[in-house]
Amino acid sequence: MPGGVRPRGPLWLITPSLIFLTALFAWPLVAGIGQALTGPGGFTLANVRRMLDDPYFWPAARNTALLIVVLIPLQFALAIAMALLLRARPRFAGVYFYIWVIPLAISDLAAGLVWLAVFTDRGYLNSALAHLQIDGYAWLSYQHPVTMFLAVVVAELWRSTSLVFVIVVAGMQSIPRDYDEAAAVFGASYWQRLRKVILPQLRPSLQVALILRTILALETFAVAQALTGRNLPLLVGETYQWYSVLQNPNVATAIALVILALSMLAAFGYLRALREPGGQP
């Protein structure tokens, strides 16, 4: 452009998106920060201190972190294994696909209630054990925190692995089979082809799936609430408790901001860790 003036056309084109994102994200974020850091007398850190002093906050943070550490690797291992099975084109591959994605159509609370019917004291699991002449077990008792946690892991594994599976299947469909076949011709074993050919090309799909699943795992609530109530506190559950039960939206917002910060840190970490060598994320 003459005189070094840049055209304003592109700016006008993205203006509606900027307005939409500001209204959808930026303004609620500013309002949330203001609510968490204000009180009757103006600016205060009392809500943050009350959040940190709450006896449920740190167990909730620990349980949420532990859920992510245990759940995410299991989900990705299962999703990749199922996607590789479909890539091999077995008989009835389409049937397998639709069966595996059924949990996507089930709400979080409904999934929690389904697994509550399995793990409750008179549920299907204890009934099956009774048929085998084995005494039942209080899987969801507050006295057994390990089995409570495992019940939530199993329920979340069943409910949300299908999301990772769909993303991985979509990523595998974009990988040309020629690469895999060429590696096989040159003597590469199946595991070598998986590590050196398939998984590197799945990097963008795995990146998206990791970000989504970590954020959604941080927001796990309905399944745990249906199975354990507050016996297994999680961060989103504490947000609900402070907002709806204790009627304190300021502290609830402070916990929500912690979840937001953890989500953003996780997304940034995945983008850094899984970016192309020598390139952009």
Which pLDDT belongs to residue 175? 80
Which pLDDT belongs to residue 51? 92
Domain locations along the chain: 34-273
Q: Among candidates 205, 211, 200, which has minimal Cα distance to 269?
A: 211
pLDDT band at 30; cut points 50, 70, 90: confident
CA pair distance 159, 100, nearest whole angstrom: 10
As a whole number, mean pLDDT of residues 96-115 equals 88
CA pair distance 250, 57, nearest whole angstrom: 15
As a whole number, mean pLDDT of residues 228-241 equals 91
Name residue 75's amino acid: Q
Per the DSSP assignment, residues forming a β-bridge with 39 are 42
Q: Among candidates 31, 17, 14, which has minimal Cα distance to 250?
A: 31
As a whole number, mean pLDDT of residues 42-70 equals 92
Question: Helices 145-173 and 57-87 meet at what angle, rounded to 10?
Answer: 40
Per-residue model confidence as pLDDT tens digits over 125-150: 999 999 988 888 899 988 999 999 99
CA pair distance 55, 187, nearest whole angstrom: 59
CATH superfamily of domain region 34-273: MetI-like (1.10.3720.10)
Dihedral angle, C-alpha 123, 129, 131, 135, nearest 10 ° = -100
Token pair for residue 46? Answer: 């009392």
Higher pLDDT, 276 or 259: 259
pTM: 0.83
CB 145 within 8 A of CB 67: no
